[in-house]
Amino acid sequence: MSADETNLAADRATRDAARAVFDERLARVRTALAKRGVGQRLTHEVTTRAREAAGESVAVARDNRWVVAAVVAALLAWFARRPLLRWGSALADRLWPGEPASRWQRLRNWTAKRITR
């Protein structure tokens, strides 16, 4: 046999071995998919990861209660900012009635000047 024929025979043997490994893996995948479909596997994976993330979030929140409380308070203050500012303005008008412009009005004017620049 020539060198080319020997190389061809070795290449075919390698190809056949690789094909056998591929066929074996494909058979395992088909068997696994027959037991549980892709949708079920995806649902299981997503719910598992979500539970792990939720558990980790709860653990971090327990370790940092004051940080979580501060963030919640800041969010509540942000969402209630307009009523809080109206309340503060009314309070300032009662506390300093003789001033020509209330402190809140001066703050609004100063802020407006800064924004328009």
Residue 67's pLDDT is what? 92
- Domain-embedded: residue 36: no
- In this structure, are residues 61 and 68 in contact, taking their beta carbons and an 8 Å threshold? yes
Residue 98's pLDDT is what? 63
- Domain-embedded: residue 102: yes
Per-residue pLDDT tens digits for 55-75: 999 999 999 999 999 999 999
Number of domains composing the chain? 1
SS3 at position 100 = coil
Which token pair is 32?
């696994």
Residue 106's pLDDT is what? 76
Q: Over 90: is that where the pLDDT of 102 sits? A: no
- In this structure, are residues 6 and 13 in contact, taking their beta carbons and an 8 Å threshold? no
Residue 79's pLDDT is what? 94
How far is Cα 75 from Cα 72, in angstroms, rounded to an integer? Answer: 5
What residue numbers bound the domain in which 102 lies? 81-117
